[in-house]
Structure 1
């Protein structure tokens, strides 16, 4: 099956599953099949009936990206289906969406809760949108913070906790800014980044210096630590991974840096378990 044949099958199936009444259209008594008619899809998407018919038939015609976007919205396509439509029609990914997707999918939530190390999820402007309980213990409780306070880049650049060691803070700030510049170049919502850049330019000398440098990093990696009374300082090596289901999200995992750190983290987990109330026995 060619791409054009699959495009035709996909579009027919997409309009066939839509109930006319859900889009404010009358059911009519003469409909021989469920779903929308071609002329209804064309009208809702702002296309001529002829162009839509040819497109659905798999003819070699090219629609603009905005027209394909309107068609996708008319057919109520999911994000995955939208990508599929662009791949079939234009052999390329769709344009970047301007809206941030902050919903943590069930699979990502399950992974966060299953990991035995701290892990969190950020969106492209570095706002933390998901985390596990070890993050709340090891770093900070994001659940007690407003969304506007959960920008990881601003936290790391402005929090005095990270400035006690000037050499470490300088290296960290330069590295993070180099990555932040890369994310800024890739975004479809530069105004959000502009607000962060403006604020840090006013408040952080290290950011002003680092932003003026030419350093760029396309990966997220580094070492950080947390101190726990009666346990000691635990060093973590963190790396980030794209969340395949939501490309605008990144999963950051904090693994113990050395064997000693792994032992201390085990001790911390044990203390957390001991501090939790015992489970009530199940009723007979």
Structure 2
């Protein structure tokens, strides 16, 4: 009940701060209170006045995610307010919103550059948009690749580099597809996934088989390796973390899996002459 009361306060405050002129409506006659009327909010959100009124009053009405999205746009909610609205109305986070997620914030890049381990940033369809020098040295240089060739899911699934051990490759692919399916279910932009899904269906029978399976994963952790020119390998544990400022981005970190790998990674850092890494 307390959450319903908070929802009522939040919606009243949100519409109260918007002047009719802000949304292209005439000011009309003198208004008793500042802001939009309920019927104006309902019209802007494309919903009935009755449903919006009941929703604002905290009655037990259920709005779809699409209706809540429209309501958030009508009320000009900030990203954090949109998330708050979904939490109060549906007790869950909102679908991932489309933001300028190809741009890596300077603070995120500075963090990656300060790390003594490889780190990269992907967006919701797994396209790589940021990385540090150790990624370039140990995995691949993304800089010369156009955006459409920097999709990490495509690279991992289709590159011959990862197929030397068929059993290991199949297990990796199973985990990848299960996580990719989870991300696809949560996106507010399915079209950014569907072209890749169509491509993968044509290119990979294993993808087709795994895509039809029921397995999903809400997180992805695994072990991978990088082979140095001298034939030595560095084994890594990797995991990912959401970047709070940009919900569509994830930071992937690669930590040495054992002491020998940690020593080899430190040697690579020294060869790259990165002072803070080689210290």
Give the TM-score band, short-chain normalised: 0.7 to 0.9
Equivalent position SS for 2:272: helix
The whole-number CA distance in structure 2 between the counterparts of 1:126 and 1:187 is 11
Contact conserved, 2:124 with 2:248, CA < 8 A, in 1? yes
Report the Cα offset of residue 117 of structure 1: 0.8
- Closer/same/farther in 2, CA of residues 203 and 187 from structure 1, 3 Å limit: closer
Structure 1 residue aligned with 2:253:
253
Query: Relative to 1, partners in 2 of residues 1:201 and 1:12: Cα closer, same or farther, differing over 3 Å?
Result: closer
Deviation per CA, 1:79-125: give whole Å up to 9, x if none.
Answer: 3322321322343444x358587354566445433322111222343
Per-residue CA deviations over 1:244-274 (Å, capped at 9, x if unaligned) read 5555543221111222222222222223236
**Paired positions, count:** 270
In structure 1, the partner of 2:181 is 184
The TM-score with structure 2 as length reference comes to: 0.76
**Cα distance in 1 for residues equivalent to 2:18 and 2:274:** 53
Given that 1:100 and 1:248 are in contact with CA atoms closer than 8 Å, whether structure 2 keeps it comes out as yes
- What is the CA distance between 1:193 and its match in structure 2? 4.3
Secondary structure (helix, strand or coil) at the match of 2:18 reads coil
CA shift for structure 1 position 154? 1.6
Q: Distance in 2 between matches of 1:215 and 1:67?
A: 29
Query: Of the two, which has the highest radius of gyration?
Result: 1
SS in 2 for 1:8: helix
Is the CA contact (8 Å cut-off) linking 1:231 and 1:264 kept in structure 2?
Answer: no
Please, which runs of 5 or more residues in structure 1 have no aligned partner? Answer: 276-284
Cα deviation, residue 62, structure 1: 1.2
Q: Return the alpha-carbon distance in structure 2 between the equivalents of residues 242 and 203 of structure 1.
A: 30
Rounded Cα–Cα distance in structure 2 between residues aligned with 1:59 and 1:236:
50
Q: How large is the RMSD of aligned CA atoms in angstroms?
A: 3.6
Aligned counterpart, 2:71: 71
Query: Counterparts of 1:196 and 1:110 in 2: how far apart (Å)?
Result: 31
